[in-house]
């Protein structure tokens, strides 16, 4: 049991049609960890600067998150600044400051290398590969990316994807990566290079999973009256997905349930800035919303 | 039993990224009728010009479609010309020639006025109201519209919607009609004026149903390798939806199934120009694809 995640820990500045926030907690590995920690033990692999206030994430220790792979380096923490217009499906980047991320070399604590599950959250694909190489006996691995890496290191992204069990990717990103507008064809191009599951994230349209077996699975997005801030929704989805999978042990039989749990976590996360909403909910809330999701597609 | 539909019969000229066709059969009432005739008896109320080749739709008589409300008037049949780019969710109109539609006065044959189900397909909302007024004992009614009528006769559209059991509408159109971007809020605005069901059509993202009861129901779109031509998909959806409902008798218990049957018919329809694909399939094909749809959301 246990999950290793590598990705970013960041200070985000975000503007949406509903509000604005400066230097709030974010980053792909942090969102993932907060979500997954509802279900299982997580070891986070990331780098932060000396300016990072560790007290703000100390609650994760009570949830059995290991910080042994969280490195504090000289310099400032990674920063992202962006905004969303009413079409909340698309983030617009205003500024990216890599800072300590520039020289990050993710060395895994020995204990991490023997974990069952691995999530390669959005970060330089060369770092994702370095982490993958250190793992000794992974039972189930998944990877995410973003358009920035597809533009600059497409082959490395494909190499990562060829070596994991599942890929989680945005609708626009898989179209760009495969140069294929149709999602059935785009997903097949990814399935052909290795993974058994291609999980396409479509924001307010939910999640679409293509299986190597030819099966297709859909989960709608939770119909919210207000999507306040979509930042981190994809990483939160992945955290719920992988966290639930790890808590159940058997992968195949639980994969579809896990996709719904991921959707539940993501639906909470977009209700407030950062992962603030996730700090207000309990495992019971999550299970209740899971049952609501089942009802959305119930026929009789 | 039996459905009355009022709407258009048209000659469409369409260009998509995959091909081009001139003056093919189309129109909201015709698409609806072809789909619904798989399930039940349909009485079509529409107007055509002297140039219309009735032989091309005579196959519908073998499917128990009544043409008693199909009026041939002096002049030319209604024509629509449009194109789609790779984002097939949005039609671009190049030309509209109302022709005989301009003076259409839909008088229902006496037999039609006693039918159980009524579909007000996309046409001038004042004509929709005229038809509604003539019906004597409708058990279940639904209405559709388009942005053209929302722009020009918004209050009449709302009057139609206030008097039917279900509204079928595109995602973009309900946002425009209610001036509300969020679909939960937009649907509530429509539910508040009367109908029990608001069925939002989202093209490749499927269908989303909001109920007066507060329940929500989703059906994904069928994952096709090629959406060849989306023209008429919404009317075909409505035809499958209403046709199945009428064939079952009891409405409430069958509503969700009917939404899936509508989605099945629409998924076939977009595979070729006009309703050509619907002429190649059998009721058995429809039932098989229905079972595939059930699997898309099956959790265990």
User: In angstroms, what separates the C-alpha of A15 from chain B's closest C-alpha?
Assistant: 18
SS3 A274: coil
Chain B residues touching residue A226 (CB < 8 angstroms): 182
Can you tell me the mean pLDDT for A176-201?
97
DSSP notation for B223-258: --S-----TTHHHHHHHHHHHHHHHHS-SGGGHHHH
Average pLDDT, chain A: 96
Cβ within 8 Å, pair A185-B225: yes
What is the count of structural domains for chain A? 1
Predicted confidence (pLDDT) per residue in A230-280, tens digit: 999 999 999 999 999 999 989 999 999 999 999 999 999 999 999 999 999
Among candidates B208, B225, B297 on the partner chain, residue whose Cβ is nearest the Cβ of A184: B225
Cβ within 8 Å, pair A299-B184: no
Predicted confidence (pLDDT) per residue in A113-123, tens digit: 999 999 999 99
Question: How far, CA to CA in Å, does A238 sit from each of A32, A200, B25?
Answer: 6, 11, 47
Predicted confidence (pLDDT) per residue in A158-179, tens digit: 999 999 999 999 999 999 999 9
- CB–CB contacts below 8 A, A to B: 73
| DSSP 8-class letter at B214 | S
| pLDDT score recorded for residue B90 | 82
pTM of the model: 0.95
* Host H or E run for residue A193: helix A183-193
The domain of B292 spans: 3-296
Q: How far is CA A10 from the centre of its chain?
A: 14
Predicted confidence (pLDDT) per residue in A130-142, tens digit: 999 999 999 999 9
Mutate to test the interface with A, among B176, B293, B297, B300 (most CBs of A within 10 A): B297
CATH number at residue A12: 3.40.1190.20
User: In angstroms, what separates the C-alpha of B84 from chain A's closest C-alpha?
Assistant: 14
Distance CA A177, CA B9 (A): 42
User: In angstroms, what separates the C-alpha of B115 from chain A's closest C-alpha?
Assistant: 27
The ipTM estimated for the assembled molecules is: 0.92
Distance CA B164, CA A178 (A): 45
Chain A residues touching residue B220 (CB < 8 angstroms): 208, 218, 220
Among candidates A86, A206, A294 on the partner chain, residue whose Cβ is nearest the Cβ of B181: A86
Among candidates A215, A257, A297 on the partner chain, residue whose Cβ is nearest the Cβ of B218: A297
The tens place of each residue's pLDDT in chain B, 300 residues long, gives: 899 999 999 999 999 989 999 999 999 999 999 999 999 999 999 999 999 999 999 999 999 999 999 999 999 999 999 999 887 878 899 999 999 999 999 999 999 999 999 999 999 999 999 999 999 999 999 999 999 999 999 999 999 999 999 999 999 999 999 999 999 999 999 999 999 999 999 999 999 999 999 999 999 999 999 889 999 999 999 999 999 999 998 999 999 999 999 999 999 999 999 999 999 999 999 999 999 999 999 997
Chain B residues touching residue A257 (CB < 8 angstroms): 299-300
């Amino acid at each position: 049991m246990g999950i290793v995640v590598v990705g970013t820990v960041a200070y985000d500045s975000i503007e949406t049609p509903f509000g604005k926030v400066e230097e709030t907690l974010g980053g792909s590995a942090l969102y993932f960890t907060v979500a997954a920690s509802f279900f299982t033990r997580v070891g986070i692999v990331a780098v932060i600067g000396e300016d990072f206030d560790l007290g703000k994430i100390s609650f994760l220790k009570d949830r059995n998150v290991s910080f042994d792979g969280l490195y504090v380096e000289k310099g400032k923490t990674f920063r992202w600044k962006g905004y969303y217009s009413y079409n909340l499906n698309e983030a617009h980047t205003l500024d990216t400051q890599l800072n300590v991320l520039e020289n990050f070399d993710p060395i895994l604590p020995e204990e991490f290398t023997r974990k069952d599950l691995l999530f390669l959250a959005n970060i330089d694909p060369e770092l994702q590969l370095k982490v993958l190489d250190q793992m000794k006996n992974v039972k189930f691995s998944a990877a995410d990316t973003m358009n920035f890496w597809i533009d600059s290191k497409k082959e490395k992204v494909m190499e990562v994807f060829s070596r994991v069990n599942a890929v989680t990717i945005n609708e626009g990103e898989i179209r760009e990566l495969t140069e294929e507008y149709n999602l059935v064809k785009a997903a097949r191009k990814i399935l052909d290079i290795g993974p058994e599951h291609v999980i396409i994230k479509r924001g307010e349209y939910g999640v679409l999973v293509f299986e190597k077996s030819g099966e297709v699975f859909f989960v709608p997005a939770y119909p919210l009256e207000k999507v306040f801030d979509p930042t981190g929704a994809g990483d939160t989805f992945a955290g719920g997905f992988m966290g639930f999978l790890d808590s159940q042990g058997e992968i195949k039989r639980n994969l579809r349930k896990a996709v719904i749990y991921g959707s539940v976590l993501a639906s909470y996360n977009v209700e407030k800035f950062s992962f603030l909403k996730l700090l207000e909910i309990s495992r019971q809330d999550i299970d209740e919303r899971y049952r609501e999701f089942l009802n959305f597609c119930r026929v009789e």
